[in-house]
Amino acid sequence: MKSQERPGPADSSTALRPSSIKKVRAIIEAAEAIFLRSGYAEASMDDVSTLAGVSKQTVYTHFGAKQQLFVAVVTHVTSDATARVHYEIPDPTDVSAMPAYLEAYARRQLDVVLDERVLAVRRLVIAEATRFPQLAETFWQQGPAKAMEEMRVRFTRFADVGLIATPDPAASASIFNWMVMGGAINAAMLLGAPGIPDADARAQIAAHATRVFLAAHTA
């Protein structure tokens, strides 16, 4: 059934009052809970407004339609996850420090991406990807693509000062990302909780990916 629409969301360039910011946050948090509980098709704006403690008109004023609200939820969750992985940490100072740096980065990435909340949103996006490709595009750009771009920037910087050797930092970033994430994310998505590696397994994944990566990229 086609979602009911209103004139459209408020202009994002307009500064919101503190009370409006609080309402927007409450709406996004409520929408996340409703979407994950009911799925996209069965979720209703009435349920979101009730859980958020605001009027349905307030929800439509800020987000316009259910699809726009879903995009906001996906963006919120993936942006939060990406920020937890890519916060600024000091660059390694010499080649000998690269293994510890990459292992720590990989473990942090696994911890964040294998979080149950992030996995739940990923499953929901995949389920709706055929009908709503914009949702999948948003998840990709805010999640895997952003992670690889962040690492490309770092690898470019490292190559410039001789910490690694790579003719193509973007390709190297993709290789490292999927060596770390490929097996773990597939197991988690297909097998559920039993497929999520524990802390020791994540450390082994990070260490192995780092060894293989540096074998091909040592300066």
pLDDT digits (tens, 9 = 90+) for 53-73: 999 999 999 999 898 898 889
Homologous superfamily in CATH for domain 18-64:
Homeodomain-like (1.10.10.60)
pLDDT digits (tens, 9 = 90+) for 27-54: 999 999 999 998 888 899 999 999 999 9
Please, is 135 exposed, middle or buried when counting C-beta atoms within 10 Å of its C-beta (0-12, 13-18, 19+)?
buried
Grouping H, G, I as helix, E, B as strand and the rest as coil, residue 164 is strand
Q: Does domain 70-217 have CATH number 3.30.310.50?
A: no
The b-or-e profile of 152-188 (16+ CB within 10 A means b, else e) is bebbbebbeeebbebeebeebbbbbbebbbeebbebb
Grouping H, G, I as helix, E, B as strand and the rest as coil, residue 196 is coil
Residues of the chain with CATH 1.10.357.10: 70-217
Q: What is the pLDDT along the chain (219 residues), one digit of tens a residue?
A: 444 444 444 444 345 666 788 999 999 999 999 999 988 888 999 999 999 999 999 999 999 989 889 888 988 887 777 666 666 678 899 999 999 999 999 999 999 899 888 899 899 889 888 888 888 888 888 888 988 999 999 999 999 999 999 999 999 999 999 999 999 999 999 999 999 999 999 999 999 999 999 999 987
Contact 49, 58 (CB under 8 A): yes
Predicted structure pTM score: 0.78
Residues of the chain with CATH 1.10.10.60: 18-64
